[in-house]
Amino acid sequence: MTAPSRRPPRLLALGGGGFTEPAARALDDFALSLTERERPRACLIPTATGDASAYVAAFYRTFAGRAQCSHVSLFSREPGELRDLVLGQDLLYVGGGNTANLLALWRLHGLDAIVREAWEGGAVLVGVSAGACALFEAGVSASFGPVAPLGGGLGLIAGAFCPHWSARRPVLLEMVAGGVPCGYGADEAAALLFEGRELTEAVAAGDGAGAYRVDPGPVEVALEVRPLTAPEASGPAGA
Indicate the domain borders of the chain: 10-227
CATH architecture designation of domain 10-227: 3-Layer(aba) Sandwich (3.40)
Catalytic residues: 129, 164
pTM confidence score: 0.92
CA-based end-to-end distance of the chain: 51
* Ranges of residues in the chain whose predicted pLDDT is under 70: 1-6, 79, 230-239
Residue 41: per-residue pLDDT: 98
Cα-based torsion angle of the residue sequence 110, 114, 117, 122 in order, rounded to the nearest 10 degrees: -160
Residue 79: per-residue pLDDT: 66
Residue 234: per-residue pLDDT: 38
Which residues lie across from 141 on neighbouring strands? 148
Minimal CA–CA distance to 167: which of 150, 186, 182, 184? Answer: 186
Minimal CA–CA distance to 120: which of 233, 35, 7? Answer: 7
Residue 47: per-residue pLDDT: 97
CA-to-CA separations, 166 to 161, 210, 212, 214, 236, in angstroms, rounded: 13, 9, 11, 14, 29
